[in-house]
Amino acid sequence: MTTGERLLELRNRRGYSQYILSQKSGVSQSFISAIEAGSKSPTISTLKKLCDSLGITLAEFFYENSYNIPPALHKLVKECRYLTSEQNEMLSNFLRSIRTTKY
């Protein structure tokens, strides 16, 4: 998958138009279009701006197995990065308990 194809996939997954992504990232809509068409390549700093606007890291952009992770899960993982190890353990226990609770 090319950089442009990956950007298009992520943008569509989030329901963003090129215009919306442009507004969020500060990258021109025409440049986003050119990246997705494969006629231009973004610099690392431009790609970082796009990734930040999509709510992912550069590593996640290039990590092939992250393609099928829903955006809500990306958001949860991003939030967990700021928790202490004790808070992460508490969250893990909570998630385990609600998964196994029968209503």
Residue pLDDT, tens place only, 30-79: 999 999 999 999 999 999 999 999 988 888 888 865 556 677 777 787 78
Q: Are 54 and 9 in contact (CB under 8 A)?
A: no
d(CA 97, CA 100): 5
Tokens 């992460």 correspond to: 88
Give the pTM. Answer: 0.64
Residue of 89, 90, 103, 56 lying closest to 75 (CA atoms): 56
What does the pLDDT read at residue 67?
53
Q: How does the average pLDDT of the chain come out, rounded?
A: 88
What does the pLDDT read at residue 46?
96
Q: Is the pLDDT of residue 103 over 70?
A: no
Highest mean pLDDT (candidates 12-16, 30-34, 80-84)? 30-34
* Furthest CA-CA distance within the chain: 53
d(CA 74, CA 82): 14
